[in-house]
Amino acid sequence: MRALEILKTVDAIAAEDTRHTSGLLAHFAIQKKLIAVHDHNERKAAEMLLARLQAGESIALVSDAGTPGISDPGAIVVDVLREAGIKVVPIPGASAVITALSAAGIPANGFHFYGFLPASGAQRRRELEALQLQTSTLVFYEAPHRVIESVTDMATVLGADRRLTIARELTKTFETFHRCLLGEAAAWLQSDPNQQRGEFVILVEAAPVVEAGPVSEEAERILKLLLAELPLKQAVKLATEISGAKKNDLYEFALKIKNDQ
């Protein structure tokens, strides 16, 4: 009700897709000037919105199927406006990540929201490798044409025995929740083409908490030398191969070194 009241009272509405928003407004008999703000024009649109707001107008910002700025256009607009001293007021609304978590039945161990993984398979696997040891639930968004490739890579990199929840088309007619092991996810999606449609939230079980063991002086020396020249993940990988120490132990020790620095 608050959102509807805002849409009725503002001078204009900035929308990710004016066609979608015009349908919503028509349903509630709201007539307002619509301004397109999407991935391809957001920086330019932000400056135009700033000028209008500084002239005394009030403007609402909406996105198509979620919350502006959360894997949707809006973050650049908000940043520009706040830098200029414009008041930005959030109106609670739909958020797929929170909606999925609330119905997934995952223990409250915190969550790491990533959003959309890279479209490239190699880049996607690199990002997943960096998330391997996260001890909180991993939450991803995914598009229908990439979902099978993504869950296949997740099973390969994160481990086929990890549990996951696939949440599809949340709050819509064909809303679906499916729980299985990561290694079973691709086959389940392939078994029914209908389950490959729509918008996805994928929730992956956290990595188990592993207490780091002691790191030998030699392994510590090798790791510090490599960290001075290489990214953390690559330094840990090479230090593990050279020293024979456990990867998890070296990873935890590397994080401690970085934090201390």
Whether the pLDDT of residue 13 is over 70: the answer is yes
Output the DSSP codes for 84-153.
Answer: TT----------HHHHHHHHHT--SS-EEEEEEPPSSHHHHHHHHHHHTT--SEEEEEE-TTTHHHHHHH
Q: What confidence score (pLDDT) does residue 150 get?
A: 97
Whether the pLDDT of residue 219 is over 90: the answer is no
Q: What confidence score (pLDDT) does residue 108 get?
A: 63
What whole-number percentage of the chain has pLDDT above 70?
97
Looking up tokens 């949440």 gives 167
The pLDDT-based confidence of 200 (bands split at 50, 70, 90) is: very high
Tens of pLDDT, residues 62-75: 999 889 999 999 99
Average pLDDT of every residue of the chain: 92
Tens of pLDDT, residues 29-82: 999 999 999 999 999 999 999 999 999 999 999 999 889 999 999 999 999 999
